[in-house]
Amino acid sequence: MNANLTREEAVRLLQKYNQEPFHLLHALTVEGVMRWYAKELGYEEDADFWGMAGLLHDIDFEQYPDQHCVKAEELLKEAQAGDDLIHAVCSHGYGICSQVKPEHLMEKVLFASDELTGLIGAAAKMRPSKSCQDMEVSSLKKKFKDKRFAAGCSRDIIRQGAEMLGWELNELFEKTILAMRSCETSVQEELDRLS
């Protein structure tokens, strides 16, 4: 798999189209989560690629929300990104704003974890620790079931993602909490540097 971009180029590209700290935080978080998943699922040699798909998956969302996952193709082509990366980015909106179906395991993980990282991040903010380091699956499950909590995080998409992967929701929750724990500190440090 070839992204055709260095991480430095990808970060520059991200910043070209994203200024909001919220969007930068989300991009860096999904990058870290994807890197964790690559290692967890036996794709360590592709961890840079998995991470880059996470870093750039919402590249077009801040400036072109109405063309999400469509404008991305143009922006990434302009930046000479590889086709694999473009496919992965566009597929994360499958059935919502894109016709590109997640095929590779990495694309299914991106689809499943993107929305869930939002829910975990919102749940972490409510904790005394303000962190997911001490978050248990049971408390995340409660937040998942409470439809008024972080109502913008679609439970249906999270469910669909788990189904795509052939995982129980619990497994997706457990793994994604671990993934977010693994990068929480480094993401915050990098966000402070970037913004």
Under the rule (CB under 5 A), what is the footprint of Fe ion? Answer: 58, 114
CB nearer Fe ion, residue 10 or residue 44: 10
Shortest separation between residue 140's beta carbon and Fe ion, angstroms: 18
CB nearer Fe ion, residue 28 or residue 79: 28
CA-closest candidate to residue 11, choices 24, 26, 29, 30: 24
Instruction: Give the CA count within 13 Å in the CB-facing half-sphere of 150.
Output: 21
Q: Are 86 and 40 in contact (CB under 8 A)?
A: no
Tokens of 62: 């801040």
CB nearer Fe ion, residue 72 or residue 177: 72
CB nearer Fe ion, residue 3 or residue 25: 25
CA distance 141 to 39: 25
Shortest separation between residue 6's beta carbon and Fe ion, angstroms: 22
Q: Are 4 and 87 in contact (CB under 8 A)?
A: no
Q: Residues near 19 by Cβ (< 8 Å), separated by ≥ 6?
A: 62
CB nearer Fe ion, residue 31 or residue 114: 114
Residue 93 CA: distances (Å) to CA of 21, 57, 68, 96 = 22, 9, 8, 5
